[in-house]
Amino acid sequence: MDTIENLQKILTSGPQPHLLTGEQYKASLRDGRQVFDDGAKVIDDVTEHPVTRRAVDTYAKIMDLQFNESTQDIVTFVDTDGQRKARGWQVPRNRDDLEMKRRQIGVANEVTLGVFGRPPEYGPAMSLGFMGVIDRIERENEQFAENIRNFIDMSARTNLLSTDLIADAQSDRSVPRMERPGTLRVVGETDDYVVLRGSKVAGSSGPNVHFFTLSSVLGEGLGPDAAIWAAVPVNLPGISLLMRPRTSQQNINSFDNPIGVLGEESDQFIFFDDVELPKKYVFSLRNLDLLTAFFDTGVYALWHILTRLSFRAELFAGTAQVLVEALGTDKIPAVRRTVADISAYAQVLKSFSFAAVDRCEEWNGVAVPNPSLVSAGRYYSITEYDNVISKLRDLAGQGLVSRWSKDVWDSPEFSDKLGAYLPGHDVSAREKNLISNFVWDMTSSLGAARLGHFEKVNATPPAAVAEIVYQSADRSTAAEFVRNYLREAAR
């Protein structure tokens, strides 16, 4: 099934020509994609399967925001052709456009609580990054540059969802990349398509989206055949997704797992078994020079990651407040200081996100969040992450383990006694238990562990981000000042 034709067909039956409702979005995922669950069983329908269903429902709610009066103007925009389209695909031309994207991330976060790293508005980020370096792509091949413009235009028209495929499969890293069988590469080519063989990893949210945005990164030993930037339909014959072990149980409820019920963001291994990718989706091929632009093309994605985490951090601060008030610890100076530390983390991240917009740059007519501020903000956000999560856990004290399920609270045998022995400050014992469940899901559940790891290594691990900060933060003026000052002092 052709993904675009399928989306176009589904859109004809809805209220807007270029926007999918939640239900239309769900229908669009029944497109013949090959997905296997964590027990190697085929997932016939990702909208129904226990591993993927909840996340799909959460994404459907985000799609419905496009039709909600109070959010429509934030999550959609009216294009130059007079048509309303998904905000994510708007090519930002100025600071205001970026600011609207920032607000959109906040609105989506109110649905997801920020626990999905690749929500619908994230998908276009890599394609917008390609637009930022379109002059370099044009020099390689004008048709490839045109392919990118067409892909963005078509994606905006069809409300398409996408996620990134960047990292290589984790085999022995001391073996040169082209000698690793798993390395994705071009193994054939006709006038119409290239043939891809090998694998990619993670592609977080893969089962929830329509396309992967494929982007190889330069590294030692990479040969031209593995140098490819492209968009790849998830349901293309020869592509299969094998899910990692699930982090949540099947029968959960919003009392026991107030965050877990939103579903888990899937990660998977993606096999490419001689996939024939139409050339209209190829954005760069066998151009090793271009791969050095990864941190330029990745800037929107990295800014989104930083901004989403900044909204999440505000939730950390809000949760800390709710928690200490419920425990009656909010007047204790040391507790207030811990809450202040968590708040400061949120404020710093918000400042980085704002500043990256305020000091945006213009590349090829596209407004780009300030790359140096994005890298520094991201580095701070991931190096402090564990610290902040640990403080939140600390504030919860025994509540993280002294928690009981909805079934226990509903049981006549225990509910009265627990209610009498465990009341909070101005909240019942049961309400206090729910707050602890929320903190558990936010800091300590299997899903929280996966998310914490995601925050730190998705896109690039801390050591690599540190190197980018080293290279991109300008110290030359200050260093010259210090040298001059010391020269004077030495006289």
Ligand X SMILES: Cc1cc2nc3c(=O)[nH]c(=O)nc-3n(C[C@H](O)[C@H](O)[C@H](O)COP(=O)(O)OP(=O)(O)OC[C@H]3O[C@@H](n4cnc5c(N)ncnc54)[C@H](O)[C@@H]3O)c2cc1C
Chain residues in the site for ligand X (CB under 6 A): 118, 163-168, 170, 173, 201-204, 267, 450, 453-454, 457-461, 463-464
CB of 322 to ligand X, least distance (A): 28
Query: How far is C-alpha 363 from the chain's CA centre?
Result: 23
Rg (CA), the chain: 24
Task: Between 290 and 459, name the residue whose CB sits nearer to ligand X.
Answer: 459
Token code pair at residue 61:
């709610």
Amino acid, res. 165 = L
Task: Between 148 and 202, name the residue whose CB sits nearer to ligand X.
Answer: 202
CB of 83 to ligand X, least distance (A): 30
Residue 242 host element (H or E): strand 239-243
CA atoms within 13 A on the CB side of 312: 25
Beta bridge partners of 233: 211
Task: Between 125 and 145, name the residue whose CB sits nearer to ligand X.
Answer: 125
CB of 54 to ligand X, least distance (A): 17
Sign of CA dihedral 193, 197, 201, 207: positive
d(CA 283, CA 306): 26
The per-residue DSSP string of 402-424 comes to S---HHHHH-HHHHHHHHHHS--
CB of 152 to ligand X, least distance (A): 20
Q: State the pairing for strand pair 193-202/185-189.
A: antiparallel
Amino acid, res. 194 = V
Query: In residues, how long is the chain?
Result: 491
Task: Between 178 and 340, name the residue whose CB sits nearer to ligand X.
Answer: 178
Task: Between 98 and 202, name the residue whose CB sits nearer to ligand X.
Answer: 202
Task: Between 164 and 314, name the residue whose CB sits nearer to ligand X.
Answer: 164
Task: Between 176 and 397, name the residue whose CB sits nearer to ligand X.
Answer: 176
Backbone angles phi, psi at 241, to 5 degrees: -115, 125
3-state secondary structure 69-104: CCCHHHHEEECCCCCEEEHHHCCCCCHHHHHHHHHH
Task: Tell me the three state secondary structure of residue 214.
Answer: strand
Q: Do 459 and 163 contact (CB within 8 A), yes or no?
A: no
CB of 169 to ligand X, least distance (A): 8
Amino acid, res. 235 = N
Task: Between 136 and 450, name the residue whose CB sits nearer to ligand X.
Answer: 450
CB of 214 to ligand X, least distance (A): 9
Task: Between 178 and 464, name the residue whose CB sits nearer to ligand X.
Answer: 464
Task: Between 225 and 267, name the residue whose CB sits nearer to ligand X.
Answer: 267
Burial of 348 (0-12, 13-18, 19+ CB in 10 A): middle
CB of 326 to ligand X, least distance (A): 31
Beta bridge partners of 202: 268
C-alpha closest to that of 265 among 318, 305, 226, 311: 305
Q: State the pairing for strand pair 268-278/361-363.
A: unpaired
CB of 352 to ligand X, least distance (A): 21
